[in-house]
Amino acid sequence: MKLSQLIEKIQTEMIIGSGDPDITGLVFDTRKVTEGCAFICIKGANFDSHDAAAEMIEKGATVVVVERDMPELAGSKAIVLKVDDTRYARAFMAAAWFGNPATKLKTIGITGTKGKTTTTYLVKSILEHAGIKTGLVGTIETIIGEEKIPAKNTTPDSYELQETFAKMAEAGLEAVVMEVSSQALMQHRTQGFVFDIGIFTNLSEDHIGPTEHASFEEYLQCKALLFKQCKKGIINGDDPHAKAIIEGHTCEVESYGINEGNDLVAVNPVLDDEPGHLGVSFETKGLIELEVKLPTPGRFSIYNALCAISICRHFGVAKEDIVTALSQAHVKGRIEKVKVSDEFTLLIDYAHNAMALESILTTLREYNPGRLICLFGCGGNRSKTRRFEMGEVSGKLADFTIITSDNPRFEEPLDIIADIVTGISKTDGKYIQIPDRKEAIRYAIENGKRGDIIVLAGKGHEDYQEIKGVKYPMDERVLIQEILDEMK
């Protein structure tokens, strides 16, 4: 590919060298430089590859893309291009490198604090039930046809994303639904194309800290970027931040919600509480009229379903396909029921912040359980505020809390647990501390009583536990089976 084709859609200044060479590769990893490639310098948290630009040229880079003046490269044999932001430029160059594959797919991007993962799977389920081959990119995995690739990030970097789109198009997929994180929007990972549909689910204080967002305002502003990069915007009109999210939007906007005034509204919700089953039924009015029955409980399940319905309506999916797909949908680690007893219900959920935990506990409380038991821990090297808040939420809403370990990372599990206890001590909630997660789960199962609902919160789909920089295998489903076998 010629350099001119690679940079066709970005503004560049050729500060050193001239010409329009053939480019053999697009590289931003200093370990992967090849002869004749274009190397993009990226300033990261721990390393700025601008400092290695001269070395990259010596290793064979024909073109170097930078975002600052590089007088030290004067006289080098490479072309040096200056851009305003190399991450932004990388996204457009990656799209060009793979032949702008997003133009061959219907692209759906979902952002928000929670609901992203569940909604992506609901959308994929509905579209595929209607015969529309759909790929998925998200927190759990990337799905291309029958191939499932475990995820490293909620939203991959721009090069990997464009490569994934290209594979999807080559495999004959017609659409892709993906989670779009605030970090991805801030780092321009989803630039280089325009989403056909952009979605906002909800917003609460999360991902705020030294390694994430500096403030809630920055977090909101990053989420809002999606609505300057999509053709159709769909928002949860009930969320108090909805207006701020779409301020300055460049897309058409429609809304969904439970409250009147939205374009699509859920009405007449009914809790479905049968032996071994917690669900909810409701009807919709407005843009489309349906009678929906979900195999997952509560208000947030209604919101997730409304969001999926709003999206799939634009694909002309038949009403019966939407209803059937929603009635059968299950998502790993999201209100996932694991059968352990005929006496009580055990659920696995990814709720890992105060808002999510409050949402699921409030929802389950509506089903009038004998006792509501909450087992959770908090991640290390993250905001302590999250620990205090989650402890307080569980203390207020659960009948009993089992405080355990999550991903301690480089912190001591007992220190994290102590922070959670600080929060729960503000309440009258009863609790026990069991640092070993398997033993905590064993305690919950062995002490379960008729009518109890037990929630294992925080891990969800994750199948590891991160300790001192190492990820050890740990899947709660496996732990549960081991405990049941040992109990026999």
Q: Is 208 a residue whose pLDDT tops 60? A: no
Q: Quick one: average pLDDT of 159-166?
A: 98
pLDDT in tens, 337-354: 999 999 999 999 999 999
Burial of 76 (0-12, 13-18, 19+ CB in 10 A): middle
Residues recorded for the chain: 488
CB atoms within 10 A of CB 48: 13
Element (H, E) at 223: helix 216-224
CA distance 21 to 445: 65
Return the pLDDT at 394: 98
Return the pLDDT at 219: 85
DSSP 259: S
Return the pLDDT at 403: 98
pLDDT in tens, 18-73: 999 999 999 999 999 999 999 999 999 889 999 999 999 999 999 999 999 999 99
Q: Which residue has the tokens 């917690």?
A: 278
Where residue 466 falls (left for φ over 0; alpha for ψ -120 to 50; beta otherwise) is beta
Return the pLDDT at 205: 62
- Which range has the worst mean pLDDT, 149-163, 197-211, 250-264? 197-211
Identity of the amino acid at 293: K
Q: Quick one: average pLDDT of 130-139?
A: 97
165's tokens: 């789109």
Return the pLDDT at 277: 78
pLDDT in tens, 79-102: 999 999 999 999 999 999 999 999
227's tokens: 């609505």
Confidence at 330, pLDDT banded by 50, 70, 90: confident
**Which residues, other chains included, contact 43 with Cβ-Cβ below 8 Å and sequence gap of 6+?**
49, 50, 67, 86
Return the pLDDT at 16: 96
CA distance 136 to 176: 6
Confidence at 157, pLDDT banded by 50, 70, 90: very high
Identity of the amino acid at 485: D
pLDDT in tens, 1-24: 999 999 999 999 999 999 999 999
Average pLDDT value for the chain: 95
Confidence at 218, pLDDT banded by 50, 70, 90: confident
Return the pLDDT at 217: 83
Q: Is 207 a residue whose pLDDT tops 60? A: no
Comparing CA positions, the residue from 112, 383, 117 lying closest to residue 222 is 112
pTM of the model: 0.88
CA distance 309 to 122: 9
Return the pLDDT at 209: 55
Contact 111, 226 (CB under 8 A): yes
Residues in a beta bridge with 352 = none
Q: Is 111 a residue whose pLDDT tops 90? A: yes
pLDDT in tens, 428-480: 999 999 999 999 999 999 999 999 999 999 999 999 999 999 999 999 999 99
**Which residues, other chains included, contact 488 with Cβ-Cβ below 8 Å and sequence gap of 6+?**
none
